[in-house]
Chain A
């Protein structure tokens, strides 16, 4: 493989990894703090995309500047995360935190199924798309071929901002410290006056918003079709498991590994493209059963 070909694969891998990271980091963040494997994360991804596209189409039809589709992407993500995420945490998840994990998975899976149908009810089955944000940023020439600036520059920068922002928030703010304290030991944190319920609520909203953001920023690059949430949740689980559940930096590394592995497979052995994320996951878990950055957990007696 020539240097240029390798670099092309790297460019593709980074673009893909950025998108996957945005969704997977929300999943892993929720699991890290709440201990809930949220299958409905895939629905937040899909709904973020659908709401973003609907908002974008409405804005352009109303004659507003197409540049407003960018704030529409972020607005849609926040709206889905706050409204839907907030409602789900407040009225459902709060009741099952102390239950068996299998029940939590079943409940979030049920929500996922219901939201899939809501999605079809509202948006039907015709594919939707909105390419304004992608077209506005234009193309860049890299190693002799044309890439969209949206995928090669905007998405990676956004992923880095989310990674650094989440790290800074957790390590250098009072709210972040409270989240870490609740994650470490909910009872002890409550004993020193931290409102654990509020921490859970906010954490879920942040995680859900990140999934919706993933969907919203993916929308200009893909077609919105029924089932898109299921597709992404499987990949996000692969990233989160490879990283070690609850590991934010790990999610970034795992997403990058999977992105690069996938693009190299397309260049060298396309038949392995689909398998790459899962091969990587299995290889990592054989060597490190807790994932790349995960540590074996001690069970409280």
Chain B
């Protein structure tokens, strides 16, 4: 009996040995916060679809360094308190290896200190506020895309390069952090780059407003040369449609830095000649990428899965996955081929270069991604039932961001009109 017990115990111990010696986990767990409810789900759900598609593709190809990935989602729309609890639970109970959080800048503001506290690798995969990595130093928090500063400066520079003769500007932004902060960057930069331009109206209708008729009337009466709106989703769609129905596009030049995500939905409601951006060099007809077989395969697969062309949140999700693959490759190589600790992965982030479906992105010493910006003007072409981009410029983001350690607000004040002559790459639709 005793001999049998010892034999069984010995066998059990032997079966444990490989597990103890194994340096790779059975799976790499990725927690993703994205909006699957509420107005922001217009970004969140496409990103979630993309995450599933990308994870499937990674696993089909053998995983990251041979380790398959497994996804866990949290709905950002559940509210910040629930999200914080879920985030903590996912890190402590589910024991995820990395978190991708979040879409909302407000959520990122809260999540960044929590991630640092929990010592979990966190990729801010979509939120725009530049403040987080400028105001504090983090060891575990990184951003795998650009931030608001280049995302707003690039459309302004495009405007100054292509239509410099404007005198008056009005803004219609959503009344929350992004709407206010993006206008702060735009208006401050306008003061130094074109000091003679006058701001004639500032409208901040509430987030999710269903009607912009009154704002449109006021703008029709004021006739500003330029109208900026960094709105997105249904708000942007409604504003564009109501403005177009009443001829506002005929009297003012529109600048819509986030409208890449609305092109397909708006169809013919978005007129030609509007300046459009996509928060990075994100575009399903990216002039430098569209011939790339991987790019084409992804666009086709995404369209087959969802019925739509990918928008910037999809590309941001792809960048988070590309960063994850690249950083594990780098950390494993630096660790002599062994599976790295989370500290080793975090240490590999600064200086990391990776590429998804746009130009390569680099993570700076402060954890912030440097990502070029593609801006274009809408045009109609055969083959699409909506406007596509023409007269595209890709701006080098490294020149549109303050140096590490400096804050955007202070840096913008040091700019001079010489920045307008920044060298950019030009592309036309079809070329």
A270 at the interface (CB under 8 A from B): yes
B338 to A: closest C-beta gap in Å: 43
B238 at the interface (CB under 8 A from A): yes
A185 at the interface (CB under 8 A from B): no
Q: Are A131 and B41 in contact (CB under 8 A)?
A: no
The number of residue pairs between A and B whose CB atoms lie closer than 8 Å in the complex comes to 117
Q: Are A135 and B204 in contact (CB under 8 A)?
A: no
A111 at the interface (CB under 8 A from B): no
B45 at the interface (CB under 8 A from A): yes
Pick the contact of B37: A8, A120, A274 (CB < 8 A): A120
B303 at the interface (CB under 8 A from A): no
Given known contacts A12-B213, A19-B211, A274-B175, is B241 in contact with A144 (CB within 8 Å)? no
Chain A residues lying within 8 Å of B221, measured Cβ to Cβ, are: 4-5, 8, 144-145
- Which residue on chain A has the smallest CB distance to residue B235? A223
B42 to A: closest C-beta gap in Å: 6
Given known contacts A8-B217, A146-B220, A231-B208, is B238 in contact with A126 (CB within 8 Å)? no
B184 to A: closest C-beta gap in Å: 15
Docked pose: A116 CA to B36 CA in angstroms: 12
Among the 9-residue stretches A26-34, A96-104, A260-268, the one with 4 or more Cβ atoms under 8 Å from chain B is A260-268
Docked pose: A266 CA to B265 CA in angstroms: 28
Pick the contact of A228: B201, B210, B246 (CB < 8 A): B210
B313 to A: closest C-beta gap in Å: 12
Write out, one digit per residue, whether chain A residues 231-260 have a CB within 8 A of any chain B CB (1) or not (0): 110000000000000000000000000000
Interface residues of A in 122-172 (CB under 8 A from B): 124-127, 129, 131, 134-135, 139, 144-148, 151
Docked pose: A221 CA to B234 CA in angstroms: 12
Docked pose: A5 CA to B208 CA in angstroms: 26
Chain A residues lying within 8 Å of B205, measured Cβ to Cβ, are: 273-274
B72 at the interface (CB under 8 A from A): no
B64 at the interface (CB under 8 A from A): no
Docked pose: A140 CA to B32 CA in angstroms: 49
Q: Are A222 and B246 in contact (CB under 8 A)?
A: no
Q: A124-B45, A126-B265, A225-B234 are in contact. List 5 more A-B contacts (CB 8 A).
A: A12-B213, A221-B213, A273-B203, A274-B205, A274-B206
- Which residue on chain B has the smallest CB distance to residue A127? B234
A136 to B: closest C-beta gap in Å: 12
Chain B residues lying within 8 Å of A225, measured Cβ to Cβ, are: 39, 42, 208, 233-234
Docked pose: A165 CA to B159 CA in angstroms: 53
Q: Are A127 and B245 in contact (CB under 8 A)?
A: no
Size of the chain B interface, CB-CB below 8 angstroms: 39
Q: Are A222 and B217 in contact (CB under 8 A)?
A: no
- Which residue on chain B has the smallest CB distance to residue A274? B206
- Which residue on chain A has the smallest CB distance to residue B203? A270
Main secondary structure of the interface of A (DSSP, over half): helix
Interface residues of A in 1-36 (CB under 8 A from B): 4-5, 8-9, 11-13, 15-16, 19
Give the interface centre of B38, B215, B217, B246 by most chain A CB atoms within 10 Å.
Answer: B217
10 closest A-B pairs (Cβ-Cβ)?
A225-B234, A125-B41, A223-B234, A12-B214, A145-B220, A127-B234, A266-B214, A223-B237, A222-B210, A223-B238
- Which residue on chain B has the smallest CB distance to residue A16? B211
A15 to B: closest C-beta gap in Å: 6
Docked pose: A127 CA to B43 CA in angstroms: 11
Docked pose: A271 CA to B215 CA in angstroms: 12
Q: Are A266 and B215 in contact (CB under 8 A)?
A: yes
B116 at the interface (CB under 8 A from A): no
Interface residues of A in 34-65 (CB under 8 A from B): none
Interface residues of B in 220-247 (CB under 8 A from A): 220-221, 233-235, 237-238, 241-242, 245-247
